Amino acid sequence: MSSLDDLYRRVIMDHYQKPKHRGHFDESEAITVNMNNPTCGDRIQIQLKIEDGKIKDARFEGDGCSISMASASMMTDAIIGMDVEEAMKLKEIFLSMVQGMDYEQDEIDLGDIEALQGVSKFPSRVKCAALAWKAMERGVRL
Ligand code: ZN
């Protein structure tokens, strides 16, 4: 086990145990999307406040495995303050990364999200990692 794997595992567990932006907006004030991942049993709700093409704020709730919850915490943390376009680009990069495909590392600072790159070695977990991002995408398109 490399020390990089250890570092990534710590980052993931940190988001899982101390999630960021976990909570709930009044549904009249935010876009609300519920999604689940039946293969693992992960359930998630993503809420977005979008104004003038910008993601002003985001929250998530749900329960599921550490990968799905950590990913939601990282995702909400990353997209708050981004333009919708930028968030969609980050989503593409993220999905490529967890599927083990090539991605442009230099375009956006991935920050903690990079810790999930090891998921690409476990195809059954890709849906866990992708859940929050798919929900965010659906919300943006509503
Ligand atoms: Zn899962």
Tens digit of each residue's pLDDT (9 = 90 or more) over 105-134: 777 789 999 999 999 999 999 999 999 999
Percent of the chain predicted with pLDDT > 70: 99
pLDDT of residue 121: 92
Q: How many CB atoms lie within 10 A of CB 116?
A: 26
Burial code (b: 16+ CB inside 10 Å, e: under 16) for 37-70 equals beebebbbbbbbebeeeebebbbbbbebbebbbb
Q: How far is the CA of 129 from the centre of ligand 1 (A)?
A: 7
Q: How far is the CA of 17 from the centre of ligand 1 (A)?
A: 15
Percent of the chain predicted with pLDDT > 90: 88
25-60 pLDDT, tens digit each: 999 999 999 999 999 999 999 999 999 999 999 999
Q: How far is the CA of 51 from the centre of ligand 1 (A)?
A: 31
